[in-house]
Structure 1
């Protein structure tokens, strides 16, 4: 059945090779990863792993032995530098590897601060890889002073871990409020209060002017003219799809590697899945940055490599852990025009996003029931009576009845 080469040994790549073998692919299968470790979970890096509550081996998606047992050639610590679509080869150092079909699961890359404002100083970290977090861990200790740049979920999760470790944390967000790009003001208000209660100094509408220090960062000047003394900096200003390899190979790029519903790129023998891709969805192109999307899309592509011919239909859901709060998100809130709040006990609350009478998404804080019911409704294409949602005495399960 030929040779399938998968470039990118993250969640999508690992899911794809496992699914291919499970579904009966018995040809040659190679998974190539630039990092020197087997595929691992990324979300716990900035949470349990950084806190020292999770051992390295528990990060691995599967034991390394799984790959050899499944006949998957694992090429770790090796970077693909070029793709030749005409010859159907990838370049690994001095080696050329031939493929019959190629799958790009290259993921995404963190945006970094420019060197001109101190982004290359020692003590400035991003949160993306195992190496990033290992380098940061020694600094996240009680009494240190940290600046977090960016008030999205990555920045807020980093702030929560640092605060729990006794670090004095200042977080700056250039937009008017934290989470402005991804959540309603109600969710922003909830997490601002949560972090404030743990001593985090959140400054909104304030950007970073420059970092200070000769070789190692020791301070920061903010856009409002204020200055901070800092021991380390965590940059959480978003991620970008890793498309350089695809672009150099002449593949179409559109907010990620452009794929059709099946996961095929502009080259008939090259496919892509996960964070690095944009795909058609309800008349527009969508790119999702989430573990569930990486798994589901990769498994869909695996099926299509074997002839299934099924378009990928995403079921978007996300999560974030901060302190003792688990945020679970179902759906996509793009285009909402009102929020219905369902208040539970203590820190339990959910925010329901509507466009007109249509339910689009749910943000649920420590409320797994609201999340699951909202998710089931959204996936079924059904809405929810706002009066029931907003009444804390009403039984949400009634919404699921036909």
Structure 2
């Protein structure tokens, strides 16, 4: 895995078979197999035929209903509101949680969909996990031990925790997801304290009743 590099040129042999790539930094990488990731586009043909609103996916409201109140959309193809923007997520967690939410809506339990998204991937010896949606201009602070490849990056927007990305720190992700689920705040200045400990922060924030339980 190489970060900070782009594709500049693909070398081919006399038969036209790709044999290597030249990166934007000038490095040459020989390869036997090439996999090209070009992104995905949602399949919205059925929605168009049904005259539903589409915009980078099937547009739904905070209850995951389309412009036709009898039709729901969920998962990779659904564009749903989050804050002042909209998003479409391609993940197992998102599809599963939205499916559960739609089932509750059909049963008459009508609450807005507000589940915090989370993602994971295992790359060799590294377990990568993410909670929340982090923007490039969010403020970040790092906890853990980057040199040991066990750390988390906490992201803050307007001083409030909005997401976390972790390498080999599953416990941090469990804590962050619980904090989002239970609306337990974490401020940037708290995380930047030299003595800050994520587990202790959660423990101190839990109500006395919860601690007894």
- TM-score normalised per structure 1: 0.44
Aligned pair partner of 2:67 in 258, 266, 289: 266
What residue in structure 1 maps to residue 78 of structure 2? Answer: 277
Deviations 1:325-379 (A, max 9, x none): 1112111112643211112372211111112311111111111222222222233
Deviations 1:138-171 (A, max 9, x none): xxxxxxxxxxxxxxxxxxxxxxxxxxxxxxxxxx
5+ residue gaps, structure 1, are 1-194, 196-201
Aligned pair partner of 1:366 in 168, 172, 183: 168
Runs of 4+ that moved beyond 6 A: 213-216
Q: CA deviation at 1:297?
A: 0.4
What residue in structure 2 maps to residue 242 of structure 1? Answer: 43
Matched, 1:300 2:104: no
Matched, 1:396 2:198: yes
Go from structure 1 to structure 2 and tell me whether the alpha carbon gap of 1:226 and 1:325 turns closer, same or farther (over 3 Å shift).
closer
Instruction: Please show how residues 187-206 of structure 1 align to structure 2 within 5 Å.
Output: 195=1, 202=2, 204-206=4-6
What residue in structure 1 maps to residue 113 of structure 2? Answer: 312
What residue in structure 2 maps to residue 384 of structure 1? Answer: 186
1:207·1:222 contact (CA, 8 Å) conserved in 2? yes
1:350·1:364 contact (CA, 8 Å) conserved in 2? yes
- TM-score normalised per structure 2: 0.78
What residue in structure 2 maps to residue 350 of structure 1? Answer: 152
What residue in structure 2 maps to residue 327 of structure 1? Answer: 128
1:361·1:378 contact (CA, 8 Å) conserved in 2? no
Instruction: Please tell me the root mean square deviation across aligned C-alpha atoms, in Å.
Output: 2.9
Please, which moves more after superposition, 373-382 or 274-283? Answer: 373-382
Aligned pair partner of 2:58 in 257, 269, 272: 257
Other structure's SS at 2:200 match: helix
What residue in structure 1 maps to residue 17 of structure 2? Answer: 217
Q: Which structure would you say has the larger RCO, counting Cα contacts within 8 Å and 6 or more residues apart? A: 1
- CA–CA distance in structure 2, aligned partners of residues 377 and 285 of structure 1: 23
- CA–CA distance in structure 1, aligned partners of residues 198 and 174 of structure 2: 10
Deviations 1:19-56 (A, max 9, x none): xxxxxxxxxxxxxxxxxxxxxxxxxxxxxxxxxxxxxx
